[in-house]
Each structure stands twice: as structure tokens, then as C-alpha cells.
């Protein structure tokens, strides 16, 4: 469904992405049409549109106004819709009644860009904890990223209260034991059974989207790769795909295969870590020890071959930063074989361990119907009947020739999310062996010439958690190129609210296990 009546522009990208302008009366109608067609809301964000038309017309000073953008996944690909806004404050119709996952995105856009959703039920600040005044919007043009508000007071967040006989609250965080990032979880419980959970995130807000506008486009890929360290390859690839899209640049085939090789190594590293941690959460320390050993070996080989344990800065505009010779490929293949043997053995241990399975099965369950309603995505979505994987649905090189097998389950519990991790890990090992065997010869990087006009591009990549989106807008002049807006979206935005539902009816001690089975990103959420 490419929305009849809309003038959509196909962007130059290896995955099918369109951009189009929309008018106010059609904003909600478009969302309803996407929902009826089985589509999904990927992201919603605010943007200043002063430069886009103004630079093209050479009238920067006369132009103005803000816009709200929404990215939807539809059967044909991704549609990026932009709605110009007027009024003070700029407002647009609420989408959360159509796509519940959009609620927090709308609240974040209000905090950062000063645009407001009319008709929504929740207008509490989301990312602004009192670090800046309510009438200050960090992403407005001309706002200094160095501006400080020494008199700002931490806001008292109005949590929803649950009352009744025997009901009490347990507040957890934002500071946690160990080194995990901060997030606050407020449980309403009777005894040990959870009646309600309310989250409060945003404690690690870093101003990344503002920082993008201060960096040269060809260097900003380094910042993209630091949005969330465990997804550095996915974010860097999505950013570079967006920049290459704006510049209408195709990368060499060998570069695309090497990017995919790194992406699959990133997927395996995270699944190895999670499988060990999930075993540890149910007192199977053996699982943690064995998977930690395998992950360490995996990261060390990544360091040897790609120069960094997490392969940070390996994906760059126009290609990749380093090549891989035949000796290195042989080492990669041998490691894939060795890891597969051990993972298969450990999988049998997990499946036959009665105590572990007792803790996993039916814990933190999200039914396929609820998953679809709330927009659950990525590996957690696939464990709950949501068969979505960009590598299968819209395969680009080299995935279009590798025939990725999607891992899906329907029970939507911890056990299903563990099963998806095992299956995806083993499939990634198969894919990497195939890439090593058929890696095309040729260059690993192509020089990228930025456009001398205003341009936009988008990158859409299946990271290990799920879909990562980067929407990029450039201002262009003959001797100067500037990022006007770079919006990065992590699938954790969709999935954090689902945990609030997944824990209902479970006991409090199972929350760490449920939470870990999703393993969502704070850093990727709190840009």
C-alpha cells in the first residue's frame, strides 16, 4: 500500500524507502491506513524544516516552521511521512490511539523539539527530567548545545498510583547494582505478585541528536557507532546507508558483504552474552561461565581481524575501514565451526535442565495478539508471533543471495526468547560461513561525493535487537555540507512499554529474568 494520492519520492537506498509530504487532515488517516494494511509505526520525531526549502531557494532567513515525521513499515518497504506544522505551539493529531508505541515518541518529541500531540492521554515529560526549562527545546535551530541551566530543578515525576487492600509499591533504580545503565522501575504489588509496573527512563540523555548537527557528515558515522555500543555495527551501517542514500552512492559489493559479516558477528556476540546471563538469572552459573568464555573468544578474534572487539568504526561512508584476507577468513570459518559445536551442546543442557525450564516457560509471556497491538519488534517480537526480519522481508546485498531463515515462535515467554536467540545464533554462523566462502573480490570503499543541494536519505538495518532506523537531512552548498537533522531510532522504543505488560501476574523475583530476556537498550533510547 503506497498510499494513493500521496506524492512519494523513492530514496536511493538498498532497501525500499519512500519520503512524502502530508497535510494535517491526512495525518491520522494515513496511520489508520497503515494499521489496516498490517503495517507498523517504526518511529516518530520532530524536525525543523527551515533549511530544506530555504537552502534550495537561497532564502534561509525567510523560511521557518517545524514538522513532525513518522516512519511506517508497510509491505512494500518503509514510508517516511513529513507533516509541516503551524501555530504556537506547533501541534499535530495524536497517533498513540492507533499505534500505542508512538506515545513515548510523541512525549520525547515534545521535550526535544517543542511539537505537541493533541488528543493524547499522557503529556508528562519523558526525556526532560528537569535538566532544561519546559519552554526550552534542545533541537530548535540556534539553540546551543553548551547552554546550561544551573537553577533547573529535578522534576517530581507523577507516577500512576495503584490503591487497594494489600497493595504496596517497590521502587527499583534508577541506580542499580553493577554497571548497568540507569532506569527506574516502580512496581505495584500484592505480596510478590506484580499488579502493575511503570518505567521512567531518560536518565542517560546525552544530546546525541544535537551533536550530529555539529559534525561534518563524513565524520558523523563515528558518533552513530557510539549511540549504543552493543549495536555499533548496526548503527554505523544505518547512518552510512542514509548518507549514501542522500549522496546517491552505491558501495562496492565486497564492502557490502564485509558489513554483513560484521553485523552477524555483532549478533552472535550479543546472543552469546545474553544466553549466559539468562542462565545465571536462574542460578545456572555454569551457563554464564561457558557462554562468557565463548563470547570472549569471539570478541578477541574480532579485535584481531577488524581492529576492535566490538568492530567499532569498521563501517565508514562508502564502504568499510579494513579488508579481510584469506588467512583471516579461514580463522573466521574455523571459529564458526567450533562455536557451533559448543553452542549445540549448551543448547541441549538448557533444554534438558528441568529447573531452568521451569523458570523460563510461561514467564513474562506476551501473546501474539498483544505483541501485534503494542508493536513488539525484533527478536522479542519474533518470539511472540511477529514474523518480521528485514534480512528476509526486504533483503539487500548480500542477504538477497543468502536466503536467511527467520526464527519465530508464538508463546512469547522467556523460553521462546531464549529459543530465538539459539536459532538466530546458529543461523548467523551459517551465514558467515557462506559469506566467507563467496566473498566477492574488488574494492572495499568508494569515495563519496556529498550533494551540493539540500538532500535526505535513510538507513534501515536489522540489528540484533531489531530494526534500527537513521533518517538524515542535509543542507548542501558548494563548499559546505551540514547535517540539519539526524534521527536515530532503536527498537527498544517499541519494546520497553511491552515489558510493563509482560511482568503483570508474575512474581517480583522473576522481573530480572523477564527484563534480561528482552535486554533492551537504555543508551539507544536516551539520545
Question: Helix, strand, or coil here: 465?
Answer: coil
CB 478 within 8 A of CB 256: no
What dihedral angle (degrees, nearest 10) is formed by the CA atoms of 35, 39, 42, 44?
A: -30
The answer to whether residue 478 scores a pLDDT higher than 90 is no
The answer to whether residue 57 scores a pLDDT higher than 60 is no
Mean pLDDT of 439-455: 94
Q: Look at the domain 8-159 and name its fold.
A: Beta Polymerase; domain 2 (3.30.460)
**Which string of DSSP letters, residue by residue, matches 23-62?**
-GGGHHHHHHHHHHTT-EEEEEEEEE-HHHHHHHHT-TTT
Q: Which residues of 453-480 are buried (b: 16+ CB within 10 A; e: fewer)?
A: ebbbbbbbbbbbbbbbbbbbbbbbeeee
Residue 161 dihedral angles phi and psi, to the nearest 5°: -95, 140
Reported as half-sphere exposure (CB side, CA atoms, 13 A), residue 126 has a value of 23
Type and span of the H or E element at 342:
helix 326-352
Question: 89 preceded by cis ω (within 30°)?
Answer: yes
Residues forming a β-bridge with 188: 169, 196
The answer to whether residue 67 scores a pLDDT higher than 50 is yes
Residue 134 CB coordination number (10 Å): 12
Q: What percent of the chain shows pLDDT beyond 90?
A: 85
Q: What is the pLDDT of residue 58?
A: 42
- Mean pLDDT check: name the lowest of 206-210, 272-276, 317-321, 374-378: 206-210
Q: Residue 381: name the closest of 16, 73, 44 by CA.
A: 73
pLDDT digits (tens, 9 = 90+) for 200-240: 999 989 999 999 999 999 999 999 999 999 999 999 999 99
More confident of the two residues 428 and 119:
428
* C-alpha grid cell, residue 107: 512525549
- Mean pLDDT check: name the lowest of 43-52, 91-100, 391-400: 43-52
pLDDT level of residue 63 (50, 70, 90 thresholds) = very low
Q: Indicate the domain borders of the chain.
A: 8-159
* Distance separating alpha carbons of residues 246 and 483, to the nearest angstrom: 11
Q: What is the pLDDT of residue 60?
A: 35
> 26: left (phi > 0), else alpha (psi -120 to 50), else beta?
alpha
**Which string of DSSP letters, residue by residue, matches 61-91?**
TT---EEEEEEEEETTEEEEEEEEE-TTTTE
Amino acid at each position: 500500500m503506497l498510499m494513493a494520492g500521496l506524492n512519494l519520492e523513492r530514496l536511493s537506498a538498498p532497501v525500499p524507502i519512500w519520503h512524502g509530504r502530508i497535510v494535517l487532515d491526512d495525518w491520522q488517516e494515513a496511520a489508520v491506513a497503515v494499521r489496516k494494511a498490517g503495517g507498523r509505526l517504526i518511529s516518530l520525531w520532530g524536525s525543523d524544516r527551515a533549511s530544506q526549502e530555504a537552502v534550495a531557494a537561497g532564502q534561509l532567513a525567510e523560511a521557518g516552521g517545524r514538522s513532525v515525521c513518522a516512519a511506517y513499515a508497510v509491505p512494500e518497504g518503509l514510508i517516511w511521512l513529513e507533516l509541516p506544522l503551524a501555530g504556537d505551539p506547533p501541534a499535530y493529531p495524536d497517533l498513540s490511539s492507533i499505534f500505542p508505541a508512538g506515545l513515548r515518541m510523541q512525549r520525547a518529541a515534545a521535550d526535544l523539539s517543542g511539537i505537541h500531540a493533541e488528543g493524547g492521554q499522557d503529556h508528562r515529560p519523558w526525556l526532560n527530567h528537569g535538566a532544561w526549562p519546559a519552554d526550552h527545546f534542545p533541537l530548535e535551530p540556534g539553540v546551543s548545545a553548551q547552554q546550561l541551566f544551573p537553577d533547573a530543578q529535578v522534576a517530581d515525576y507523577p507516577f500512576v498510583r495503584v490503591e487497594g487492600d494489600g497493595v504496596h509499591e517497590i521502587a527499583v533504580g534508577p541506580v542499580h547494582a553493577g554497571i548497568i545503565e540507569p532506569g527506574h522501575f516502580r512496581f505495584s504489588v500484592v505480596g510478590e505478585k506484580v499488579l502493575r509496573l511503570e518505567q521512567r527512563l531518560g536518565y542517560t540523555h546525552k544530546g546525541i541528536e544535537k551533536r550530529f548537527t555539529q559534525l561534518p557528515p563524513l565524520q558523523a558515522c563515528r558518533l552513530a557507532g557510539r549511540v549504543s555500543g552493543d549495536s555499533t555495527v548496526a548503527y554505523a551501517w544505518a547512518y552510512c546507508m542514509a548518507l549514501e542514500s542522500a549522496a546517491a552512492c552505491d558501495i562496492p559489493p565486497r564492502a557490502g558483504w564485509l558489513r554483513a559479516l560484521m553485523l552477524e558477528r555483532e549478533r552472535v556476540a550479543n546472543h552469546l552474552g545474553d544466553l549466559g546471563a539468562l542462565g545465571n538469572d536462574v542460578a545456572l552459573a555454569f551457563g554464564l561461565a561457558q557462554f562468557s568464555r565463548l563470547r570472549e573468544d569471539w570478541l578477541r578474534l574480532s579485535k584481531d581481524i577488524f581492529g576492535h572487539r566490538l568492530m567499532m568504526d569498521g563501517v565508514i561512508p562508502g564502504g568499510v575501514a579494513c579488508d579481510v584476507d584469506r588467512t583471516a577468513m579461514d580463522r573466521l570459518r574455523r571459529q564458526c565451526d567450533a562455536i557451533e559445536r559448543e553452542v549445540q551442546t549448551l543448547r541441549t543442557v538448557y533444554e534438558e535442565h528441568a529447573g531452568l525450564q521451569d523458570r523460563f516457560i510461561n514467564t513474562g509471556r506476551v501473546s501474539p495478539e498483544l505483541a501485534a497491538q503494542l508493536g513488539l519488534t525484533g527478536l522479542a517480537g519474533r518470539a511472540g508471533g511477529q514474523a518480521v526480519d528485514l534480512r528476509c522481508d526486504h533483503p539487500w546485498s548480500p542477504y538477497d543471495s543468502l536466503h536467511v531463515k527467520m526464527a519465530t515462535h508464538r508463546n512469547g515467554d522467556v523460553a521462546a526468547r531464549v529459543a530465538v536467540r539459539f536459532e538466530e545464533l546458529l543461523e548467523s554462523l551459517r551465514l558467515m560461513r557462506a559469506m566467507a566462502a563467496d566473498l566477492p573480490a574488488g574494492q572495499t570503499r568508494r569515495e563519496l561525493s556529498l550533494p551540493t543541494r539540500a538532500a535526505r536519505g535513510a538507513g534501515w538495518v536489522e540489528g540484533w535487537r531489531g530494526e534500527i532506523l537513521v533518517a538524515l537531512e542535509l543542507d548542501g552548498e558548494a563548499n559546505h555540507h551540514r547535517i540539519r537533522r539526524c534521527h536515530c531510532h532503536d527498537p527498544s522504543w517499541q519494546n520497553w512499554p511491552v515489558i510493563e505488560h509482560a511482568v503483570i501476574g508474575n512474581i517480583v523475583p522473576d522481573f530480572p529474568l523477564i527484563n534480561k530476556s528482552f535486554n533492551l537498550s537504555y543508551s539507544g533510547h536516551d539520545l
